[in-house]
Structure 1
Amino acid sequence: MKSGVILVFCLLCLSLSVSPSWGSDDRRQKWWKWPSTGKSICSSVVLPLYGNVYPQGFYYAQIHIGHPPRPYFLDPDTGSDLTWLQCDAPCVRCTQAPHPYYKPNNDLVPCKDPLCASLHSGDHRCDDEPDQCDYEVEYADGGSSLGVLINDVSLLNLTTGVRVVARLAIGCGYDQIPGPSYQPLDGVLGLGKGKTGIVSQLHSQGLIRNVVGHCFSSRGGGFLFFGDDIYDPSRIISTPMSRDYTKHYSPGYGEIIYGGKATGLKNLLVIFDSGSSYTYLSSKAYEGLLNKVTEELRGKPIQEALDDETLPFCWKGRRPFRSMRDVKMYFKPLALSFSSGWRSKTQFEIPLEGYLLISAKGSVCLGVLNGTEVGLQNFNVIGDISMQDKMVIYDNEKQTIGWTPANCDRPPRSDTMTI
C-alpha cells in the first residue's frame, strides 16, 4: 500500500538438480535450481535494503530479473501483491527510473491462469485477450500501474549457499501514474498475501516457507527476507492475523498507549505496511494522539516550529535538536496493544525514534500523519518509521504477525550461525 536475530543453519532438505548455466564457462560457475515438489524447504532468501525514512523517504531492494539477469531497484511493499517493473514497451506514461527499462520477453501469462484471476475481483472474463493477462493496480496514494503479466526468471541466493533461478509472474508496466509518495525506482516488489505475491510464488515452487519479513535500520538500510530460517521463534512477540480483515497484513483492532497509559483511542483497525514511510492514523485517533502530545509539551521550553515544513507538526527548542537524546525529556514512547486471544494482549512498542524525527532545521517532527486526509479512510497504518530497528515477520503459514528488537545493520549470511 503506497501512501515504501538468529540464523538457524539447516541442511539441504531436498536433492539438487542442475539448471542451465547463465555464465559463459560452465566449469567456473554452476547455477542450481530446486526441483518443484510443492513442499517447503528449510531455507530463506535475504536481500539487503537501501534508503531511509528521512531524508530519502523510502527503502528499496535490488533484485535481478531476466536472462541474462539485470538489476532493478524495487519498493518492498507488504501492502500490495503484484511485483511489476516499468517496461520497455510503448508507454502511455513513463516515469523516471534508475535503470534502463525492463525488456519483456514473449512468455505471456494467459488470461485463464489462476494468477491472472487472482488479480481481478468479481467476474473475471477472458473474451477480449485470452492469450494475455492485463492488469491494473491502484495504490492508496492515488498512484497506479497498468500493464500485462509475463513470466520471467529471477536469480536468488538461498541462505544454504545455493543459488536458484526461480520462475515468477511479474507485471510489465507500460502506463504508470505516480502518486504523491512516488519515488524514482524501477517498480514495486509485491510482498502481500495474494497468489501473485513473490513470497506466495516462491512458496508454491517449494523453495521457501510462506513467510516474509523485514528489518529497517534507523541508520539507513537493513534487510528483507523470504522464508523462516533466519530467526529464533522463541524470541518473537506475535499476534494473530485478523480473520475478519484478510486483504492486508492486519492484527485486527488495536489501542494506542502513550507513556505506558491507555489513551482511550481504541478499536483502531491496524495494517502493517512497508510501502509507507510514515505511520498514519485515522482522523479521530490522529487528533487524539496530537492532543496527548501537545498536552505533554505544555509548560516545557519547546514550541511549534511553524517555519519548518518537513512534516505537518514540528517543534523547536531553545537550541536546534541534534538527536533523540535532546528530546527524550519532552516526549514519551508509544505502543499499540492488540488482543492475542482470550484475555491475552500483546504490545507493539514504538520508541521515540519510531514516531519522531529530527529535521534538517533542528526541529523534532511528528512522523505520524492523518491518514483520513490522504484517502486511507478508517485504516491505521504502521509504516517504516515505527518498524525501525525491529525484525517484523509476516508468517502466512501460522497466520501471525511477529516482531522483536534487532540489529538491522547486520543482515544474516549463509555461512554464519548468528547475528
Structure 2
Amino acid sequence: MGEKEANSVGSDSIFFVCFILHCVASSRERVSKWPPKPYFLDPDTGSDLTWLQCDAPCQQCTETLHPLYQPSNDLVPCKDPLCMSLHSSMDHRCENPDQCDYEVEYADGGSSLGVLVRDVFPLNLTNGDPIRPRLALGCQLICGYDQDPGSSSYHPMDGILGLGRGAVSIVSQLHNQGIVRNVVGHCFNSKGGGYLFFGDGIYDPYRLVWTPMSRDYPKHYSPGFGELMFNGRSTGLRNLFVVFDSGSSYTYFNAQAYQVLTSLLNRELAGKPLREAMDDDTLPLCWRERKPIKSLRDVRKYFKPLALSFSSGGRSKAVFEIPIEGYMIISSMGNVCLGILNGTDVGLENSNIIGDISMQDKMVVYNNEKQAIGWATANCDRVPKSQVSSW
C-alpha cells in the first residue's frame, strides 16, 4: 500500500512504535532523513522537546551508538507558533529571526542548547499504512546532558523523545496535524523491551484505573496529591504532590516521605538476615545478605508492597501499586538497593516523581483529551491488538 500524506489520516487513527528497552530509560525510535536511520532516544513524559545530538558540529557531545544527526535545512523560524510556545516556558529569545534557538534545563541539572528544525518522522499506523509527517525537533549543538558510564543502567542515548503536554512535544504535534488523538502511552517490561504508542485505539479504557490530571499543574502529567500506602496501610502522608515522569530512571520522594519509607523498611528488616551495605555506592541505600543476592525473588519475603492512592473522580480511590520490583534493584555487588531516592537532595523540593522503575510491567496512558492518567498491570513484551475506543 502506498504512503499517505500526514494530514490525510483521521484523528481516530492510531499507531504504535515498538522500541528496545533495557532496564529503564533506554529506548529505540526511528527519526531522521530519508531513508530513515535508527537513533536511541530516552522517552520522557517529563519534558516536551525531542532533540538529537547534531553534526553541525556538536560541542561537548556525549557518547552515542549512532552517527550524529545531520539536520535538514528546514529551520523553524523564531515567530513560528512552536518556537513561541517553547520560549514561553523558558527565559530565552532568538538571536536570529530566521531560526528558533532554544535552551532547556532538566531537573537533574542536565541541559540542551541548539536550534529547532523540521524533518520527516517515518511511522506506521496500526493498520500497516506508512506515514511521513514533518515534525519539529531540536538539533543540539552544545550538550550539558551528562550520561553516567559508571551507572549499572547506563546505555548511550542519541537524544530525548519529548512526550510532555506542551505544543512542541511529539504527541501534540501529531495531534495538531490530525494524525492521532492527543493520547500517549507506554509499557515498560521489567525483563527488557516494551512499547510506546500514540492515540487511543490500542487499549481498553475500562480495564485501566483512571485518575484526573490536576488542572493546577498543566505542564506536568500529574494526578495532583496522593497518599502513601505501605503494605496496604496508610503511612499518614496524604498530601504528596506526584508527577509521572518516564524520563526519570528512579522514583523520588520528598524528604519527609523518604524518611518515613526508610524508617518503615528498617523496622521491617529488624531481626532479618539483611544488613546495610555501606560499601555499595550503587544507590544511597543498599542491603546485603551473607551470600550475594541473585534475584529480587530471593528477598521478596523481606519487603512489603507500596502504593500511592489518588482521587478517581468519585468515592473510590485510584491506587497505583508499587511491588518490590517497582522500587528495588539488585546491584552488581549482589546487594538489594532502594530505587526510591530523596528528591529534596537533588532540588525537587516537595515534588514526588514516579519514575521508570515504578512503571515497569504496567501500561500507563496519558489521555490529554480526557485530562486523565490511567494504568493497569500488563504484559509489556507484546503489543495488544487494536481496540475500538468509545470512552
TM-score range, shorter chain: over 0.9
1:45 and 2:16 correspond: yes
Could you say what secondary structure the match of 2:345 adopts?
Answer: helix
Q: Say yes or no: does 1:308 pair with 2:280.
A: yes
Bigger mean CA deviation after superposition, 118-127 or 401-410: 118-127
Partner of 2:369: 397
Decide which of 114, 130, 146 is 2:113's aligned counterpart.
146
Distance, in Å, in 1 between the alignment partners of 2:205 and 2:171 is 19
Q: Is the 8 A contact 1:158 1:414 kept in 2?
A: no
Runs of 4+ displaced beyond 6 Å: 122-127
Task: Compare 115-124 and 355-364 and name the one that shifted more.
Answer: 115-124
Tell me the alpha carbon deviations over residues 25-62 of structure 1, each in whole angstroms, 9 at most, x when there is no partner: xxxx733334357x512322322232213xxxx32122
Within the candidate set 183, 186, 202, 1:214 is matched to 186
Deviation, 1:122, is 7.0
- Determine whether 1:347 maps to 2:316: no
CA displacement, residues 218-242 of structure 1 (integer Å, 9 cap, x when unaligned)? 1011111111111111101010000
- The gaps in structure 2 that reach 5 residues or longer are 149-153
Q: Does 1:81 align with 2:53?
A: no
> How many residues matched?
382
Partner of 1:14: none
With over 3 angstroms needed to count, the CA separation of the structure-2 counterparts of 1:118 and 1:326, relative to structure 1, is: same
Residue 255 of structure 1 contacts residue 338 of structure 1 at CA under 8 Å; is this kept in 2?
A: yes
Query: What's 1:265 paired with?
Result: 237
Q: Which residue of 1 aligns with 2:219?
A: 247
Partner of 2:267: 295
Which amino acid in 1 is paired with 2:99? Q
Q: Which of residues 134, 141, 144 in structure 2 aligns to 1:177?
A: 144
1:372-411 maps to which residues of 2 (within 5 A)?
Answer: 372-411=344-383
Contact 2:90–2:104 (CA under 8 A) maintained in structure 1: no
Deviation at residue 180 of structure 1 after TM alignment: 5.9
Cα 1:127–1:366, aligned 2, differ >3 Å: closer, same or farther?
Answer: closer
Amino acid of the structure 1 residue aligned with 2:379: N
SS at match of 2:132: strand
* 1:44–1:228 Cα contact (<8 Å) kept: no
Counterpart-to-counterpart distance in 2, 1:125 and 1:321 = 49
* Structure 1: segments with no counterpart, 5+ residues: 1-28
Asked if structure 1 preserves the Cα contact closer than 8 Å seen for 2:30 and 2:36, the reply is no
What secondary structure, in the 3-state scheme, does the structure 2 residue paired with 1:288 have? helix
1:141, 1:180 within 8 Å by CA — same for their partners in 2?
no
**Distance in 2 (alpha carbons) for counterparts of 1:64 and 1:180:** 21
For residues 257-299 of structure 1, what are the alpha-carbon distances to aligned partners after superposition, in whole Å with 9 as ceiling and x for unaligned?
0001100122111010110111001111111110111111112
1:232 counterpart (197, 204, 213): 204
1:338 corresponds to which residue? 310
Is 1:156 aligned with 2:123? yes
| 1:170-208 per-position Cα deviation (integer Å, ceiling 9, x unaligned) | 111101112366852111100001000000111111111
CA distance 1:293–1:125, change in 2 (3 Å): closer
The question of whether the paired residues in 1 share the 8 Å contact of 2:277 and 2:286 is answered with: yes
CA contact (8 A) 2:311 2:317 kept: yes
Task: Please provide the CA RMSD for this pair.
Answer: 2.1
Superposed counterparts of 1:88-99, under 5 Å: 88-99=55-66
- Paired letter, 1:93: Q
CA distance in 2, matches of 1:126, 1:330: 53
Query: TM-score scaled to structure 1, two decimals?
Result: 0.87
Residue 413 of structure 1: how far off its partner (Å) = 6.6
